């Protein structure tokens, strides 16, 4: 991208063109992995449309830092002048952008400072430092950390590398779309998660020029639909906990917003439950580990199936940095929702052999008891009864219903929890 594009971006919305993205692809060649683009029939089946959707996944969770952010960081750092490289760079991030800037600054021999909020998990701080960056913990919020980063940039003459509101970063992220279309030329629809908007803007600009008939969607989680609200001319109202913290953004980038508005891109909004379902489906159906934000594209397919009926859809798994405990919880919650784990509550008579009888009936029906809570002394309504709660693993919802029917046929009072 010519230097004038960056300068113009400060005064007016920048125009990202396919040529800018192709130049970015050349700059980052060898420094950023060209990730696989693979068919995902399990995802297509889960959408359940007629005619069926054909889905392809772009596995950018396989990047060295586990996320697509390397593309934009590598391109922006490669565009620095010799003076800027000698002085150093600074970025603010509590997640994937921090590691991306740290890694590529290290590869280029550039001093990098990363400002992270004090609440940032220690693992993310350690990973960022492992790439050679100097980490500064400041502020209780992302906004406070960002303000401190800008103050340090001015005081020390550092170049601020914005995670999304920068034409060089946007062009770098857009290289993903080029690879997707080159590797799966039959695609007619692309879906990209939206946080600040840099990925969607860069990819949409490149894809629509490369293949004009293409349909491009963005996707946000319902607690943080900032870009959808901005594009609709509505006030931004966001907040609340979400597993898709990587796209939980209040203030979208002005440059991405202007470009997306000009291109007429629609942003779909998905419920939190669809994101959890997408993480679980990717793990079980596609054998791919995704963080919440990285699975948002698949969540859009699940939440809005009619929009993708009969379409050839490409979407990235754009990040795989999910906490192991969070992934475990998501998978267990999905098993409960699918009816493959039952939580059953009983009020049973307090006499020998009852618990063994219940276990045998469950076993005879093909169930596997994986957890038992037996309150014999204080929780039961009378001294003649006891409370029992079981967690039972089953093949599917139908088998679970058969187990409950068998227990009720034996006169046990049982209810799902």
Confidence of residue 4 (pLDDT cuts 50, 70, 90): very low
Is residue 29 predicted with pLDDT exceeding 90?
Answer: yes
312-316 and 189-193 strand pairing: parallel
Query: Is the pLDDT at 14 greater than 80, yes or no?
Result: no
Q: Is the pLDDT of residue 11 over 90?
A: no
- Quick one: pLDDT band at residue 349, thresholds 50, 70, 90? confident
User: pLDDT tens-digit profile of 310-342?
Assistant: 999 999 999 999 999 999 999 999 999 999 999
pLDDT at 378: 53
What is the pairing mode between strands 159-160 and 189-193? unpaired
Mean pLDDT of the chain: 92
Q: How many residues does the chain have?
A: 417
Q: Are strands 312-316 and 341-349 parallel, antiparallel or unpaired?
A: unpaired
Contacts of 392 (CB under 8 A, 6+ apart): 341, 342, 343, 344, 362, 367, 368, 369, 370, 400, 403
Give the model's confidence band at 348: pLDDT under 50 very low, under 70 low, under 90 confident, else very high: confident
| 90 torsion bin: left (phi>0), alpha (psi -120 to 50), beta (else) | beta
Instruction: Decide: helix, strand or coil at residue 1.
Output: coil
pTM, full prediction: 0.89
Q: Cα 288 to the chain's mean position, in Å?
A: 12
Rounded CA-CA distance 363/367 in Å is 5
Residue 287 has pLDDT above 80, yes or no: yes
Q: What is the pLDDT of residue 3?
A: 35
The pLDDT of residue 376 is 61
pLDDT at 326: 93
Q: Which domains does the chain have, with CATH numbers?
A: 3-64+176-332 (3.40.50.1100), 89-157 (3.40.50.1100), 340-416 (3.30.70.260)
Bigger pLDDT: 301 or 123?
Answer: 301
pLDDT interval class at 407 (50, 70, 90) = very high
Is residue 163 over pLDDT 60?
A: yes
- What per-residue confidence (pLDDT) applies to 172? 98
Structure tokens given for 97: 């952008």
For residue 48, how many other CB atoms are within 10 A of its CB? 11
6: pLDDT strictly greater than 50: no
Q: Which residues contact 382 (CB under 8 A, 6 or more apart)?
A: none
Per-residue pLDDT at 128:
94
The confidence score (pLDDT) of residue 5 equals 37
Of residues 182, 202, 242, the one with CA closest to residue 34:
182
**305 vs 385, higher pLDDT:** 305
226-269 pLDDT, tens digit each = 999 999 999 999 999 999 999 999 999 999 999 999 999 999 99
């Amino acid at each position: 991208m010519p230097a004038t594009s960056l300068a113009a971006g400060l005064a007016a919305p920048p125009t990202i063109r396919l040529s800018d993205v192709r130049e970015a692809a050349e700059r980052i060649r060898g420094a950023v992995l060209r990730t696989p683009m693979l068919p995902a029939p399990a995802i297509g089946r889960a959408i359940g449309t007629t005619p069926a959707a054909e889905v392809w996944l772009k596995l950018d969770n396989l990047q060295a830092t586990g996320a697509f952010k390397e593309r934009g960081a590598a391109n922006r750092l490669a565009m620095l002048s010799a003076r800027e490289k000698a002085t150093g760079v600074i970025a603010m991030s509590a997640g994937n952008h921090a590691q991306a800037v740290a890694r590529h600054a290290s590869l280029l021999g550039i001093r990098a400072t990363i400002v992270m909020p004090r609440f940032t998990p220690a693992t993310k701080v350690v990973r960022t430092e492992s790439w050679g960056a100097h980490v500064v913990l400041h502020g209780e919020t992302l906004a406070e950390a960002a303000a401190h980063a800008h103050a340090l940039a001015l005081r020390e003459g550092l170049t601020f590398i914005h995670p999304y509101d920068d034409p060089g970063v946007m062009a770098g992220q857009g290289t993903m779309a080029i690879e997707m279309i080159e590797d799966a030329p039959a695609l007619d629809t692309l879906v990209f998660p939206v946080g600040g908007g840099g990925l969607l803007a860069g990819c949409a600009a490149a894809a629509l020029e490369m293949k004009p008939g293409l349909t491009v969607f963005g996707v946000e989680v319902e607690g943080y639909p900032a870009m959808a609200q901005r594009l609709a001319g509505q006030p931004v109202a966001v907040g609340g906990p979400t597993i898709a913290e990587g796209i939980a953004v209040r203030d979208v980038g002005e440059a991405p917003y202007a470009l997306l508005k000009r291109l007429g891109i629609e942003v779909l909004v998905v419920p939190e439950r669809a994101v959890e379902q997408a993480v679980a489906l990717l793990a079980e159906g596609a054998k791919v580990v995704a963080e919440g934000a990285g699975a948002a594209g698949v969540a859009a397919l699940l939440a809005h199936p009619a929009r993708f009926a009969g379409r050839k859809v490409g979407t990235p798994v754009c990040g795989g940095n999910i906490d192991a405990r969070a992934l475990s919880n998501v998978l267990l919650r999905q098993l409960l929702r699918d009816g493959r784990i039952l939580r059953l509550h009983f009020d049973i008579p307090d006499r020998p052999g009852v618990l063994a009888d219940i276990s045998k009936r469950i076993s005879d029906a093909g169930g596997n008891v994986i957890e038992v809570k037996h309150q014999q002394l204080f929780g039961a309504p009378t001294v003649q009864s006891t409370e029992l709660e079981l967690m039972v693993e089953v093949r599917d919802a139908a088998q679970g219903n058969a187990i409950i029917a068998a227990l009720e046929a034996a006169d046990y009072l049982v209810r799902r929890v």
